A and B are shown apart, each in its own frame.
Chain A
């Protein structure tokens, strides 16, 4: 428990530094008058013709899903490494079967063309 207090202190110091920088710049820095013209997004002097946020292509989402699933895979492999000597061959076969099943998913994704970047 005491080891983790150091992490808490780090978090608190980080929050204080980040928040303090924001607060100080808001307090001390010059605050120009907010007019409607200044709030508008800057577009080389032209009037913006469309909203800045546009939809992402769905391709990014496929990559994100792959990240999530393989993130889970790594999470399950980490305890195996930590207890590698204790679980022995049984654990090794189990982990390999786990990896094998998930490799099918990777192969499917690959064959489907989800990893190609057009």
Chain B
């Protein structure tokens, strides 16, 4: 039998890895991937509670989160492509001006 706590711990560890990657990495693409990782960790916690409470509602919400992640990636990567065309870099340290 799997304890609810071990699922939540897994979710927390994945989330923290995502946070750590987001803070420490300077490549916008990797930062973006860390955000995806955090969304997945949240989804995992949601599904663990769905199973624990025998309720289907969190699963529907998890589906919305996945669709939201896809929409976010489509727009975010388009922004990265547009910025790269203009500035020729994906390093966040070179992109600290709001206007150029």
Task: Please list the residues of chain B having a beta carbon within 8 angstroms of any beta carbon in chain A.
Answer: 63, 66-67, 70-71, 73-74, 77-78, 81
Known A68-B74, A69-B74; contact A58-B81, beta-carbon cutoff 8 A = yes
Which residues 36-87 of A have a CB within 8 angstroms of B? Answer: 58, 61, 65, 68-69, 71-72, 75-76
Tell me which residues across on chain A come within 8 A of B77, comparing CB atoms.
61
Task: Please list the residues of chain A having a beta carbon within 8 angstroms of any beta carbon in chain B.
Answer: 58, 61, 65, 68-69, 71-72, 75-76
Closest Cβ–Cβ distance, residue B7 to chain A (whole Å): 16
Cα of A61 to Cα of B70 in the assembled complex, Å: 14
Tell me which residues across on chain B come within 8 A of A69, comparing CB atoms.
70-71, 74
Tell me which residues across on chain B come within 8 A of A68, comparing CB atoms.
70, 73-74
The answer to whether B81 touches A71, judged by C-beta atoms less than 8 angstroms apart, is no
